[in-house]
Amino acid sequence: MMGIAPNSFSSVECCTLETMYAHMDNPETAQICADIAAALEQVKRGEMTREAFDEFKLNKKKQLPVLTPHATYKDGVRKNKMAIPSGLSMYDIDHIADPKGYFNTMVRERVGELGIDMAYVTPSTEGLRLIFEMPEGMTLAEAQKWMSEQLGDANYDGSVKDYARCSFLVPRAYLLYIDEEELCKEREVKAVPQNKVVLEPVLQNATVVNEPKFRPGQATARNLRIFDLCLAEAGLKLEEIDNIGVYNWHNTLVAILSIGICRLMKQEELLAVIAERMPNYAKEQDCQRLISDFYKDYTRMNAPMSQRLRAIYAESMTEQKDKSAKAEEILGEEPPQLPKRLPKSIKLLVSKEPDVYKPAVVMAVFPALGAHLVGTRFLYKDNTPHEATFMTCCMAPMSSGKSCINRVCDLIMADIKARDEENCRRENEWKEECRSLGANKQKPKRPEDLIIQIMPSDMTNAALVQRLMDADGHFLYTHVDEVELFDQLKVNGKAGQIGKIFRYAYDNQEYGQGRVGLQSVSGSPTVRWNWNAATTIQRGQQFFRPMLADGTMSRLTLSTIVTYRGMEMPIHGIYDDKFAEELKPYIDRLNAAQGLIDIPQAKRLISTLDKEAKDMAWLYDDEVFERLSYRAVVSAWLRAMVLYLAEGKWSKEIEALAMWSLKYDMWCKMHFFGQQMSAQMEGEVVRTRGPQNLLDMLADTFTQEDAKQVRIRANKKPYPNPMLCMWVKRGYITQDADGIYHKTASYLKRCLAA
């Protein structure tokens, strides 16, 4: 078993899960690590030297509780001669900018293979610690060497090879992986002599000395741009990085390399960039060795790119205006980022909002923009006419700023609101006149042209039907700050069936009620109703749960707001008269639009969107994704058509936004409801997950059995043949004469571009 102690000076006792979690959850542990993290931020801002930080960190770590993974000790005395081996070893990976990213990329899929029982970020937040089961018959030193070879880590910490070595504990939030059963179980460990000679891995810098001096070529503008973007991503400044000494040069370059810059240029190209950006460090042998190590050991050219690396790649391509290479967003851990170049109308509408709110605002403006269209239809590729129906719900954490939607949509709806106020005044005058007459008096006829489009959040079914009858082909519009307010509407007198009205609205079907009373509302008008709603994630999942498998969810559009603890307060712009003046031409064009709209560019866009959706569906081999994507393509196309009318012309920016909106909408739907929908379809309840690209989970060359095992890990049926046949058909893979599958060059190129 492992040992545990309140600090490195205290007596060691056997570690149990209860004692370990008690120390990890202790507020003092959290505070100490928070102090270290805050000091590191000071270093990054230039407010503290690295030397001062190292001394501060050392003093703080002395106050932390410790684990002794290698052993427990007789009488609790932490000395090698008193050790009782645990059969475990710990492996340190130091000085990495993103320990969590390193673990997810290099380790997580191999925890079983490597015998890892626990992984966590070190107190400095610049390192990763792995606790693993030692292969039988190995010494501590041999186990360290073995793990270094498995991870391709030539620069491992060779000092972690005595039984008395301890590891400082961290808060539970720093924990990346744990196998509780294996970690604390008792093992029968055979004694192994610890004085065996261990050959250390051959480091690459042993040969660098004898190599001819590298003469870098000329760095290209694009490669310099990539370096600067990675530098900014690492939180560093260009004017500081070449004047901070060899030790900090090394850490600076590690931070940049850890972001993944090696994926975006060749080794000789990066050396040319370093020669220009860090000329002093470029002369050091450590620089060339470090770059060589990253290209050789840490760069997986065929692995999926992280979200931030894809963004850097896309921006570098935009700077070069290389239209042949696009950074395609795929569904990942974070929602797709907005295109760098937006349509003029959208650029204006989000201009006053901070970046964190822009995606949610973009999705929310379409219900309001569509409400301005009357008698306008768009012809889909299958010759089905559609109207500009949009129903959007923003699902985001509590106090995340969901009200940003109101600020923009209120400006879009300003002209409709002004007309509504006049018609509301006329309607109230008619009501007052009716009330002033006696019961036997003949009441004046209700005005027939009372078009009131903006519906309040507190509405009844009768009010909705009456407003639809009065609308004369106009769209109603509603904004609710709590999605549960929709439950006030009842279908056939029953609550909880609002999903039916949503489906009628998307399809523009007739809906109404029949009553015998003279004063009752009776009629079956066509439902034209756009709305925006907001909710917390938990409330939204609960509200929409009954609507996941009946087609309602596919008709809706979802958005979210990604926040994080400690983020700075977002500052909103001011919507002044100048903003309203710039917005007016777009609104005027929408108000003037009439008839059936059918343009060739839109037909081509539909084909592009449809192909992208089908490609993603087959890569994830997810039936839920495929079903949701059908109408998501239609909605994305409708957004493009509305922007075409608002701006008066078609553009590449409109196409790019439509593609982004498809991927963003699908990301939100799968992220919040993907697994629940699958459970409803299959009659079981499982936890939420996002979609997984099964082909990316396989090596470039694989067998049918490999594909079967990937499906099993993804909780899918173990029958890979239909999936493999479709992958072959779509050109993702080929099969050779021996039955071995190979990813095609076009697919690998697509992965690199993504």
Q: How far apart are CA 281 and CA 245, in angstroms?
A: 8
pLDDT of res. 342: 94
CA angle, corner 575, sides to 574 and 579, nearest 5?
A: 125
Amino acid identity for residue 242 in this structure? D
Residue 207 has pLDDT above 50, yes or no: no
Cα 248 from Cα 255, distance rounded (Å): 10
pLDDT tens, residue by residue, 86-136: 889 888 888 787 888 888 878 887 887 788 999 999 998 888 999 998 887
More confident position, 171 or 713: 171
HSE-up of residue 11 (Cα within 13 Å, Cβ side): 4
209-240 pLDDT, tens per residue?
A: 333 344 456 778 788 888 888 888 887 777 66
Mean pLDDT of 536-557: 89
Contact 177, 116 (CB under 8 A): yes
Higher pLDDT, 208 or 723: 723
User: Sorting pLDDT into bands at 50, 70 and 90, what band is 330?
Assistant: very low
Burial of 150 (0-12, 13-18, 19+ CB in 10 A): middle
How many beta carbons lie within 10 A of that of residue 694, not counting itself?
Answer: 21
* Reported confidence tier of residue 622, pLDDT bands at 50, 70, 90: confident
C-alpha span between 543 and 539 (Å, rounded)? 6
Q: Which range in 125-129, 233-237, 321-325, 519-523 is most confidently predicted, on average pLDDT? A: 125-129
Helix, strand or coil for residue 393? strand
Domain ranges of the chain: 3-201, 211-298, 701-753
pTM above 0.85? Answer: no
Contact 119, 129 (CB under 8 A): yes
Q: Which region among 187-191, 198-202, 606-610 has the lowest average model confidence (pLDDT)?
A: 198-202
Q: Could you report the per-residue pLDDT of 25-57, keeping only the tens digit for each?
A: 999 999 999 999 899 888 888 888 888 888 888
SS3 content of the chain, % helix, strand, coil (to 5): 50, 10, 40
Residue ranges of alpha helices (H) inside 205-357 are 205-208, 221-233, 245-259, 267-277, 279-282, 285-293, 307-320, 344-349
Residue 474: name the closest of 375, 382, 596 by CA: 375
